[in-house]
Chains A and B, each alone.
Chain A
Amino acid sequence: MFGDVSFLDLLQAITDGLLFGATYAIIGTGFALIFGVMHKINLAYAATSIAGAYVSLAFASLIPMPAIVVFLIAAIASGVVGYLIYLTCFRFIPTASPLATLMATVGMLILIDEVIVHETDGMPQPYPALFDNVMIEIGDYGLRGDLLFIFGLSIVATVALVIFLYRTRLGVATRAVAQQPVAAQLCGISVQRTNGTTFIMSGLLGGLAGAMTGAAVGTLSPLLTLPITIKGLIVTVIGGLGSIPGAIIAGLLVGMFENVALALRDVQERDLYVMLLLFLFLAVRPLGIFGKSSSRD
């Protein structure tokens, strides 16, 4: 079954997967953020992040700019798209119709995908690679520079998110709304504005993740949205719904697992093993790593 995969190859696969898993961790965190506050899924979320990456690509092709600026533009564009999704799919649909919200986000997913296909004629676009030729080599073992950068950037983004949630007034409001919307409202917090900000925050994260995916894969294509959506959802479930630390750990885990499966088997079967991992978690620990048993309120 394992063929002739040496220990070093396996180690290499694990580290590469772990580093790339950072993008899944960020996407999972975005899903968890929205779920934590609104108790709803935003299926258009991965499409938001890819849309942000495309906008940054458009800017980058107009004016040459350093990588970090490209990433920032992606984040900001995704934040804007995230807010638009809040307005179109969440703001005016009653809380009592969760299915309508779900369906509307699917509509947005299709819409964003199709806008991208329309603008690019469905052709995959090359994404500017970062530190393409930077390799930290230790004998046969190497670390890809761009993956290291991605990993570092996602740590920075996560720290920024934690600071936002725990050190700012808006963050306190966000956590209050997540915990108990009615009580938050009674304290004078505008639930709708807080929800909107949450979408912007998760959009910013998503844009980073989209740009990171683009940089790591090397191309951007509308075909990326569905796999990222599915992986993001799987990460959210494995980590435990609405749990940010869970999403981070599960993201790294899924990235690693996927890459090991790729090294041991082949690319056709890779995702099958990720699904099996999810089923294993559902059977053994249905609430995920950090999931709390939901109370009835």
Chain B
Amino acid sequence: MQFWYGLAQLVGVHTILGLSAYVILQTGQVSMAQAGFLAIGAYVSGMLTTMGGWHIVPALLVGGVTAAVVATIVGFPALRVKGLMFVVATIAFGEAVRLFWFNFTYQVKQGADMVGPVGGEGFKQIRYFPANGWTDLDRALFILGLMAIVMAGVWWLDRSRVGVVLRAVGEDDLAAQSVGVNLTAVKVGAFAISGFIAGIGGSLYSHYTTHIEHLNFGIVLATFAIAYPIVGGLHNVFGTLAAVIFIQGFLVEGLRFLGDWRNLLFGALIVVAMNVSPRGFVSVYRDLSTYWRRRVYSGAIFTVVLIIVGEAAGGEVVAFVDGLLGRSGLQFNHMAWIAFLVVMAVWSWRGLAILIVMIPAGLQRLSGVLRDSLGGSAARRPRRTA
């Protein structure tokens, strides 16, 4: 069960990170600054609980607010530019934050030893959870609960007038401006909200890993942050969650037994997924008929139940399966994921396709591309260019 609690915490933190990128993506800006905000939240709240002896909830909020304040300050110059320039500006900001923590050392004496961040060595002993006797289940529930709150908040934001304004700016900022939307206020506001969410995610991150260092918050994490909403689709918040489960649960954790090859497959799968489904998972899911949608749902629920029952049955099942698999180098956790895929395949082959590379949609698109290029329709059908 340990593994699943860990996975739940990982998914929770990464979903919050993905949602923070989701908000700013709604305004049409690709922000690579999310890892930076995550770092700010992580360090600030870590220092508050470890060195200041705060409770986690206020520390969490202060971490989020600090990140939001920094986002507002940086937002004014950074959001003067858009598109690629904004991407580069936010990459630079993220790197600047990382390098700031790389050069930042501040320790206080606590009992026998010194605690606090030490430049390149990182920030160790963020031991709020173990020190207060939180079990793995407590942590997982706490993080998932916060994830649910953030998700509900962003979902509500999406459906409110605010969401409409954000998307209007994202679709066409000039048109939005011409109907009286204050672009700077909207963009900086969205940036601040996304900073706040990422700050909270960072606070959870530092407390659940107990040890952070500047290298955790590099450009790779920033890429992951925007990858979740892009892969999941910008239609609703659940796409982000699905993408986190797919990327962190399946690609990163589930394929661990592939060893070195996993990372190779990882990059290749992103390329394939973007080719066959440029609008994200959710759009593919939407294209499915109700009949197949039901199968995808029930397949997923059935598998989760299967896993929980299997784990709850206790160590014997796991030990038995591990014993059977001993020679192949696989473990129960891997088998559970493979079982997940098999069940998805049996219950609905399209569900499997969604999970891996969304083959049907891909074929459909591929045939479209082939028809386009073979039939030379470019000349017949004038295409609008941006």
Question: Are B385 and A182 in contact (CB-based, < 8 A)?
Answer: yes
Give the residues from 18 to 72 in chain B that come closer than 8 angstroms, CB to CB, to chain A.
25, 30
Give the one of A229, A269, A286, A296 with max B CB within 10 A: A286
Q: Is B120 an interface residue (CB 8 A)?
A: yes
CB-contacts of A273-297 with B (<8 A) = 275-276, 278-279, 282-283, 286-288, 296
A236: chain B residues within 8 A (beta carbon): 84, 88
Closest to B366 in A: A92
- Nearest neighbor of B379 in chain A, beta-carbon distance: A185
* Contact of A286 with B85 in the complex, beta carbons under 8 Å: yes
Report B55-98 residues with CB < 8 Å from chain A CB. Answer: 77-78, 80-81, 84-85, 87-89, 91-93, 95-96
Instruction: Tell me if A230 counts as interface (CB < 8 A to partner B).
Output: yes
Can you name 26 A-B pairs with beta carbons within 8 Å? Answer: A41-B87, A89-B271, A93-B275, A95-B385, A95-B386, A96-B386, A99-B25, A103-B231, A104-B274, A106-B223, A106-B227, A107-B269, A110-B266, A112-B267, A181-B385, A182-B385, A226-B218, A229-B219, A230-B91, A236-B84, A275-B92, A278-B88, A278-B92, A279-B93, A282-B77, A286-B81
For residue B102, CB closer than 8 A to chain A, the reply is yes
Residue tally, chain B, CB below 8 Å to A: 53
Is B95 in contact with A275, judged by CB distance below 8 angstroms? Answer: yes
Q: Is A149 an interface residue (CB 8 A)?
A: no
Q: Output the least CB separation between B247 and chain A (Å).
A: 11
- Using Cβ atoms and an 8 Å threshold, which residues of chain B touch A161? none
Q: A100-B274, A279-B89, A286-B85 are in contact. Are A114 and B95 (CB under 8 A)?
A: no
Check if B263 sits within 8 Å of A93, measured CB to CB: no
| Chain A interfacial positions (CB closer than 8 Å to B) | 35, 39, 41, 88-89, 92-97, 99-104, 106-115, 117-118, 181-182, 185, 226, 229-230, 233-234, 236-237, 241, 268-269, 271-272, 275-276, 278-279, 282-283, 286-288, 296
Q: How far is the CB of A187 from chain B (nearest CB, A)?
A: 12
A110 to B231, CA, bound (A): 16
B106 close to A (CB within 8 Å):
no
A113: B residues at CB distance < 8 A: 267
Count chain A CB atoms within 10 A of each CB in B77, B91, B365 and give the residue with the most.
B91
Q: Does B184 contact A (CB under 8 A)?
A: no
Q: Which B positions have Cβ atoms within 8 angstroms of A?
A: 25, 30, 77-78, 80-81, 84-85, 87-89, 91-93, 95-96, 99-100, 102-103, 119-120, 174, 218-220, 223, 226-227, 230-231, 260-261, 263-264, 266-271, 274-275, 278-279, 365-366, 369, 378, 382-383, 385-386
Nearest residue, chain B, Cβ from A89: B271
Question: In the complex, what residues of A have CB within 8 A of residue B223's CB?
Answer: 106
Q: Which chain A residue lies CB-closest to B234?
A: A99
By a CB distance below 8 angstroms, the chain B residues around A276 are: 96
- B91 and A92 within 8 A (CB): no
CB contacts between A and B, total, < 8 Å: 146
Are A268's CB and B120's CB within 8 A? yes
> Most chain-A Cβ atoms within 10 A of its Cβ — which of B99, B102, B266?
B99
A269 and B103 contact, CB distance less than 8 A = yes
CA distance A152 to B267 in the complex (A): 36
Question: Which residues of B sit under 8 angstroms from A230, Cβ to Cβ?
Answer: 91-92, 95, 219
Q: How far is the CA of A112 from the CA of B270 in the complex (A)?
A: 13
- Nearest chain B CB to A13's CB is how many angstroms away? 20
Which B residues lie within 8 Å of A185 (CB)?
378
- Inter-chain contact A110/B263, CB cutoff 8 Å: yes
Cβ contact of A107, chosen from B81, B268, B279, cutoff 8 A: B268
Q: A102–B92 contact, CB under 8 A? A: no
Chain A residue numbers with a CB within 8 Å of B91 are: 230, 233
Chain A contacts of B89 at CB under 8 A?
Answer: 237, 278-279, 282
Per a CB cutoff under 8 Å, which of B95, B220, B275 touches A104?
A: B275
A272 to B93, CA, bound (A): 9
Is there contact, CB below 8 Å, between B99 and A275?
yes
Question: A112 — which chain B residues lie within 8 A by C-beta?
Answer: 267
Whether B275 lies near A234 (C-beta < 8 A) is no
